[in-house]
A and B are shown apart, each in its own frame.
Chain A
Amino acid sequence: MNTTKMATSSETTLKKTHVGNKKKPIKRYWHGTETNETGKKQTPKPTKPRGGKRGLTSLPLKRHWHGTEKNKSNGKKQRNHSERTPKQTQPSGEKRALTSLPSKRSWQGTKKNETDGEKQRNDNEQTSTQTEPSGGEKRLISSKEDPFPGTAPIPKNSLKKFKRGEKQEIPRDAWHKVKCAIADSEAVDDMAQKQNARFDLLLPEDAGFLEGDEDEDTCTISQEDIANAVDITSGAKYFNLALSQFGPYRLDYSKNGRHLLLGGRRGHVTCLEWQSKQLMCEMNVMETVNDVKWLHTEAMFAVAQKKWLYIYDNKGIELHCIRKFNDVLRMQFLPYHFLLATASATGFLQYLDVSVGKEVAATCTKAGRLDVMAQNPYNAIIHLGHSNGTVTLWSPNVKEPLVKMLCHQGGVRSVAVDKTGTYMVTSGMDKKLKVYDIRSYKPLQSYFLPAGASCLSLSQKGLLCAATGDTVQVYRDVWGTPVTKPYMAHRLKGSVWGLHFCPFEDILGVGHGEGFTSMVVPGAGEPNFDGYDANPYRSSKQMQEWEVKALLEKVQPELITLDPSMLSKVDKSTWEQRHQDRVKALGYDPLAKGKFIPRFKKKGRSSSGNVERRKRQVAHEDQRDEIRKTVEENMERAKERKQYKKEQMAAAAGQKSALDRFRK
């Protein structure tokens, strides 16, 4: 019998610095402008020190289980703390809590010196050192040298994490003013990146994981074992609800993971605060329930019933019956757009703006019954799976699919999209599980599941859950190295109907024929939450304020595009049209590069030969630049290769010189 041990998380947090912490960057579709920009959202959780007493140190250390869920035992205290720091009226404020830190000043002047980490100096000192390199002034009245001069170095990893794309080249023929503007914006970017990297320190939590004995598969560890091994709070999160009467259940967690909504096929709808098992409402709608979905808060939810779409509040009172949305089979809620997207049996994809109650778009997909649906959290695009093996991507603004991908030989059974909007996982009738990169629309991995997967769900940290019949398998890193066996597996009493990972918790909710099961899946949830975005510990007041703010910051449905950075781009076709009109009006192209005419020089220096020579000097300048660049690149590559070879040779020879220790 295996025994488990909870590693004390406080220990780990102490040991592990943020340097080695490689978190998957979160991308939001309203992120819009930047490509690599990440992590700002995984904001500092207003400090949630984990209790160090959870670990059962008396047990032999065999299996590690680093839970990422919040420690409930000292939750009260923490909640107070968390309430204190963030002010909801101000947006996104990981940073606000940090104002006590020595603020960086005069960043503009200093950016030159700040290369990487070590060379950074305190800004005050920087200016002085810039002006006076003699360094006579570094010493102040105290006459003692600072042993660690300057600000603390920024680790390269976090710098890289917050990098905002590659630096583009400034067009050579740009005007001076433009060049200045570009340089300014670059400086701003640089500064912002550095500050972000500096404050990355405040995202201290790590995702946990499950570790088996030697030659023991983690997938054979049962939920009971885990529940027994972990602390009581975490252990209580594994539970079963036996609801065999109203048959298979669909479920949904609210955005902050506190509330659970269950909808039985035979009309049973219930919502509860699942951690405290507090029932909020329970009813039977006396109709078939196809899908349930929380709206922007836990105060309202939508239920797709046999005929129409209904909206209830958390007391179970029917608020709306929306007749325009009939025969809805699946629903998705786009939280930043306040859009409820529904897919119906009649083949319609409809969008309902829940903030104003208006239907935004209704598209006939002409693809039959729409039973498979997912949303891309990065760009709010809806993915639909069809019986002809294709997956189509939709936005409310275009009446045809933006992209149509052929994914399976048979029909598509389920689709899930990664939080960063990078990967899409599909399963089909052909019993295959496929992973696509939806930036390039290329297949990455293809797996064969013996029984196929009926439901798929991706967690915040990228764990994939696939349900086949009555079993649930969790896979880790399906898009990286090909996996051969699941990370975890669990058998349920009935066949699985609904599947959902709980946000910010290591919990997987499974709705099946015999009720509902809450499973513990270590490493599933995002450990660092953004208190201004989805705060699991928020008070009702905070909730109100958040709602107001979210409504104010609502993203309009017109902005939904495949590439969220479209807004920051110039509308090329219109611009070109305008430009052509202008050219016509002016009679010449103002942007065209003028032909080079050599200046006339006196004293016989404008002889034809001379003129020709001067002309040749500027001819093919662009081309030459390009050539130079490529040559340089090639040289560098060759150099690297050589270096690599050399290193390999050295490694092969196994010779170690005494100077090796000084090498980096």
Chain B
Amino acid sequence: MVESKAAKRRKRKTQKEDKKTTSATVLQRIRDAEEELHQTQTEDVISASEDEGGDDEERKHSKLLDAIRSLGGKRRKKLTERSEASIQVSEFAVNAEGEGDKIHLSELIENIDKASTSLSKAKQRLNKLKNHHSTLDTPLNRKEAEQIQREVAFEKTSKLVSGWEHVVNQNQRAEQLVFPLKQELSGPKRMEHVVSGWKAQTPLEKEIFSLLHANNQPVHDVVLTAGEESSIKAMSLEEAKLRRAELQKFRALQSYYEAKAKRQKKIKSKTYHKIQHKVLRKDYLKHFDELLKTDPDAALEELNKAELSRMKERMTLKHQNSGKWAKSRAIMAKYDEGARKAMQQQLEVNKDLTLKLVIPTDEDEEDEEESVEALPSFVNDAEPIVDAVNPWMRGKLSTEPALQEESNDMETSGARPGNVQAEEEANHLQEVEEEVEETEEEAILRGFEERRKMRRVEDVEVTPMFVGDNKELPAEKAEAIEVSDDDDDNDNEEEEAEISTFTRLFQGLVKNHVDSPAETAKMGASICVGQDESPTMLDEGLVRVMAPEDLELLSQGDASLMTTSAPRIEQTDSQSETQHAGEKKRKIMIDPNEVLTKEAKVIKVPFAPTAVDDVEGMEEQRVIIKEAFAGDDVVSDFLKDKEKQEEARKPKDLDLTLPGWGEWGGIGLKPSNRKRRFLVQAAEPTPRRDLKLPNVIFSEKRDSSIARLQVCQLPFPFRHPKEFEHVICSPIGHTWNTQNAVQKITAPKVMTKLGTIIEPMSREKYIKNQELVAPGRKSDQYLESDKGTQNKKRSQQKKKHKPKKN
């Protein structure tokens, strides 16, 4: 690459040089002419005395003309006329015509033309000579030449050095390097190695070897076993060629196909794509029909897929009028009716897509029915076409299908053709065609819907699936009509239909999902209400919470928050949340009853009854202890202690108010509420570890002694503590690992053998053989498979550079 660049540069330079030279020659020529003129002038001055003035002028003029003429590319043969003898003309030599002009080769050759053929060779040569007129360029100046030289040298050297890159990288990456690098392996060798350098001589050996050969075992050729060789030979050249051709053809076909697809994709014609799209859709529907008949499960799958695609569509920003095309349309919309229409269609689609799925569940439908009377009558009217374009005016399509159902109930399906007729007047013929297709599609979609319904109802009876007119499905009449109503005019109609069906499906799903929580919420509310009504329940809860031991705590006023895990009480809490909004922050006290309440299992001790005196003694002791700890409530003491600890750890608010600043101050006067803004609220402390352990107090003090020994600054490649911990947590010591493992884990990065000379890596060994070894790599590995662990990495690294043996 660099080379080629340099070459280009050089070329350019030479071109420039050429130009320079040409322009230089022209200048030279002009300069010559001027000089000549000048000369002539001086000559004229000399000869002025002798010659007549008029003659002189004439000559001058002619010479000037000549000079000018010579500026032009072609040099005409000038014929000097000889009028009389002059000084310049000697008597010995006749002044020939065109004296001082060059003789051109062509002129010479012309004569040869007519001459014998024997000269043709010479003529050819001369011709060649004529064409070949290369003058040497002027040498570059030193600076440039040196630069070029440097560049070339750099390329060469970098190429040379980059050959080492691989080796160096590998050595850097190797976990262990053993120097000297190419060391003969110690330890036992494999049989093959030993055998390979040794020929059978004695009869016994020969016999053994013949046996081995018979078994197809590798004896001399260690690198490839007989089996391998045979497998290599298995594919003949012809076969390989055939296979190659096959692959070639396949690739070519593939590329053709790709090219075609690309071409088609690049076609900008909208109509083309529309048609294409339609064809695809038709195919798809046909396919779906078949599926419906043959494999309902697969059809269902397809349906799901369609739903999914719809979802995806909804997720994207398509139809947002934010694309390039839409923007251009927006500009045009002011003037172009079509553009406006297109935009509105898009918007409509978008609206349908982004519609919230709060569609008439059954209850809603009822509600709708109830509210029908309240709705204005124009809802039932046929929509004017102008409005039909505006999505916001006709948005009831999916939100209120029930309504439309209602409204369209009276209408028969027969009304539909009339509609179509009306539209035909307004629309193009093509659109009508589309519509016919659309109706078919819609019918299919209705089929989907029916299936869905069937699924929902879990009705086992199978009504025959159909792809036909609306009349065939009286059950779906209402929907059919609705769809037919939608048939109005746009291209997106069928999409809409699809969407609406999907939305309905989703509504079903959503409803199922939403219902239960809503119901539970309702239930909860009712429960709450019930609790409100019956204070006994509340009382019950409180009674449960409180224990005789709590009297102390109760006096502290925390009784209300001593919630046990009883759900009912929680509910009451949540219910009274609004009342005790302020109390929310208060900490949850531990119920002393929860502490140390584990049921104890009685253990039967075999010798207990025999030690009568002891038991009595114990009894006495117990009584004594009881007396000693009479006033001692261990649990409450502990809880108090815990509370104290928590208190102590809490960060305190900072009060910056200056009492008496801006108002009266003094004993008994509190700073006004206005000054509350000077109270700096402390941050909420991190939750204590013992929050959920009632009988434990953790010390939150930092242990600085261990912190001193911990790592606090991460070494280079690590950025997060987690990463670093990941690596250092594995133990490497003898206590946790076997001896072998420890040796492996703690092996030094570089090992040198004592007393050996460590030569620098030689180029021949490491780089040249890289290519050589590549094909024989497999066998190389085989050879290396028996090498010791310590040498493993080394061998790995060497694999590629090892000269092929044998």
A-side interface residues toward B, CB under 8 Å?
A: 28, 30-34, 37, 40-41, 90-96, 98-99, 103-109, 124-125, 127-128, 131-132, 134, 136-137, 139-141, 143, 164-165, 168, 170-171, 174-175, 177-178, 181-182, 184-185, 188-189, 191-192, 195-196, 198-199, 217, 219-220, 388-390, 395, 397-398, 400-410, 429, 432-434, 441-443, 445-452, 468-471, 473, 475, 482-486, 489, 491, 495, 558-559, 561, 565-575, 578, 590-591, 604, 607-609, 612-613, 616
Contacts and interface: CB of A to CB of B under 8 A. Distances in A.
Nearest to B632: A388
Contacts of A442: 693
B710 A403 contact: no
Give 9 closest A-B pairs by Cβ, nearest first: A95-B738, A95-B739, A570-B721, A105-B789, A574-B712, A571-B710, A177-B717, A448-B600, A397-B705
Contacts of A132: 778, 781-782
B601 interface: yes
Contacts of B723: 170-171, 174, 178, 182
A576 to B, nearest CB: 9
A469 B620 CA distance: 14
A401 B719 CA distance: 35
Chain B interface size, under 10 / 10 to 19 / 20 to 34 / 35 or more = 35 or more
B217 A395 contact: no
Contacts of A99: 739-740
B738 A196 contact: yes
B720 A469 contact: no
B728 A568 contact: yes
B322 interface: yes
Contacts of A106: 789, 792
A406 B782 contact: no
A568 B317 CA distance: 50
Given A37-B731, A482-B601, A124 B785 contact: yes
A409 B602 CA distance: 17
Interface string B585-628: 00000000001101111111111101100110110000001000
B625 to A, nearest CB: 6
A571 B730 contact: no
Contacts of B782: 128, 131-132, 137
B740 A569 contact: no
B731 A32 contact: yes
B323 A609 contact: yes
Contacts of B720: 171, 174, 591
A604 B327 CA distance: 13
Most buried by A among B324, B617, B707, B730: B730
B695 A405 contact: yes
Contacts of B702: 573
B696 interface: yes
B725 A568 contact: yes
A188 B745 contact: yes
Contacts of B603: 433, 447-450, 473, 475, 483-486
Contact of B217 (A93, A143, A178, A198): A143
B596 A409 contact: yes
A136 B191 contact: no
A91 B605 contact: no
A626 B283 CA distance: 40
A406 B711 contact: no
A445 B228 CA distance: 68
A608 B322 contact: yes
B557 to A, nearest CB: 24
A177 to B, nearest CB: 4
Contacts of A141: 191-192, 212, 217
B714 A406 contact: no
B210 interface: no
B459 to A, nearest CB: 28
Given A195-B738, A389-B638, A447 B600 contact: yes
B792 A108 contact: yes
B596 A489 contact: no
A180 to B, nearest CB: 9
Contacts of A94: 738
5 contacts: A33-B728, A33-B731, A127-B784, A473-B603, A489-B605
B702 to A, nearest CB: 7
Given A105-B789, A608-B317, 7 more contacts: A34-B731, A125-B785, A174-B720, A181-B718, A182-B723, A486-B605, A567-B706
B619 to A, nearest CB: 10
A137 B225 contact: yes
Contacts of A32: 731
A107 B606 CA distance: 57
A403 B698 contact: yes
Contacts of B736: 31, 34, 37, 40, 192, 196
Nearest to B737: A192
B731 A124 contact: no
Contacts of B712: 570-571, 574-575, 578
B605 A92 contact: no
A400 B699 contact: yes
B726 A170 contact: yes
A609 B719 contact: no
Contacts of B786: 124
B433 interface: no
A230 to B, nearest CB: 22
Given A192-B736, A486-B603, A107 B634 contact: no
Given A447-B601, A470-B614, A607-B323, A570 B710 contact: yes
A204 B322 CA distance: 76
A468 B605 contact: yes
A441 B600 contact: no
B324 to A, nearest CB: 6
A608 B323 contact: yes
B732 to A, nearest CB: 8
A170 B735 CA distance: 27
Contacts of B792: 105-106, 108-109
B705 A107 contact: no
B320 A572 contact: no
A2 to B, nearest CB: 16
B788 interface: yes
A395 B702 CA distance: 12
A441 B693 contact: yes
B144 to A, nearest CB: 38
Contact of A397 (B703, B726, B737, B741): B703
Given A445-B601, A471-B611, A566 B730 contact: no
Contacts of A37: 731, 736
A578 B721 CA distance: 12
B608 A450 contact: yes
A182 B727 contact: yes
Interface in B612-658: 614-615, 617-618, 625, 629, 632, 634-635, 637-638, 641
Contact of B789 (A41, A107, A484): A107
A296 to B, nearest CB: 17
Contacts of B735: 28, 30-31, 40-41, 91-92
A124 to B, nearest CB: 6
A561 B703 contact: yes
Contacts of B727: 181-182, 185
B744 A107 contact: yes
A177 B715 CA distance: 12
A602 to B, nearest CB: 13
B462 interface: no
Interface in B49-91: none
Nearest to B718: A178
B250 interface: no
Nearest to A220: B606
Most chain B CB within a 10 A radius of its CB, from A139, A141, A434: A141
Given A398-B703, A485-B604, A613-B317, A93 B734 contact: yes
